[in-house]
Amino acid sequence: MQDADLLLSLAEIAGVFVGFGALIGIRAGGASEAYEVTFIRFVVSIGLLVVVAALAPVTISRYGLTGHEVWLPCSLLALAFFWGMMLVANLMPEHRTVHAVTPRAALMRRFGLFALLFIVPMHIALILVVLGLFPDLEPALYLTAVEVALTGAALGLLSLVYSQGRPATA
């Protein structure tokens, strides 16, 4: 596989984000504010998504599969992992608390831009791979999806670090 080293490097980087997110989560007895807990979980989850998505094609290609046989199951796995994470997140009490106490407009400002810049492009790239419309571009599309998710996790971690010590919201 041509991009195996790059994908492994992206998985390593994402693993660092997962570690930092977890470290922030357990510092000083752990986060107590629902928004902070939810955000830490999100950063860790996206980091894990990148790890899984980056390692999947390297693993699958070891079975002698190539082309769409590699990129289709990897894209489906990445999409399933993302939506599974979202389902689990929605079941968490802190997530429900954030949605209950935060005005809808504020949530849209916070997460709408993130979705537009990262989640939507990631989905578009993965769905194009699943549909098989551009077979020659599938490795590039998949790598784009992984890198967009990694960038989203990085900016989420940065935002989380900058939010530390801010006054608690009512």
Give per-residue pLDDT as tens, 118-153. 889 999 999 999 999 999 999 999 999 999 998 888
Report residue 159 as tokens. 């935002």
Q: Which residues of 2-31 are buried (b: 16+ CB within 10 A; e: fewer)?
A: ebeeebeebbebbeebbebbeebbeeeeeb
Could you tell me the residue range of the domain that residue 33 belongs to?
4-163
Neighbours of 63 (CB within 10 A): 8
pTM: 0.80
Could you tell me if 92 and 115 are in contact, meaning their C-beta atoms sit under 8 angstroms apart?
A: no
Domain assignment present for residue 169? The answer is no
pLDDT digits (tens, 9 = 90+) for 3-59: 767 666 767 777 776 676 666 655 545 445 777 777 777 888 888 899 899 999 989
The mean pLDDT of the chain is 81
Domain assignment present for residue 95? The answer is yes
What is the tally of structural domains in the chain?
1
- CA-based diameter of the chain, in Å? 56
Domain assignment present for residue 170? The answer is no
pLDDT digits (tens, 9 = 90+) for 19-30: 766 666 555 454
Domain assignment present for residue 85? The answer is yes
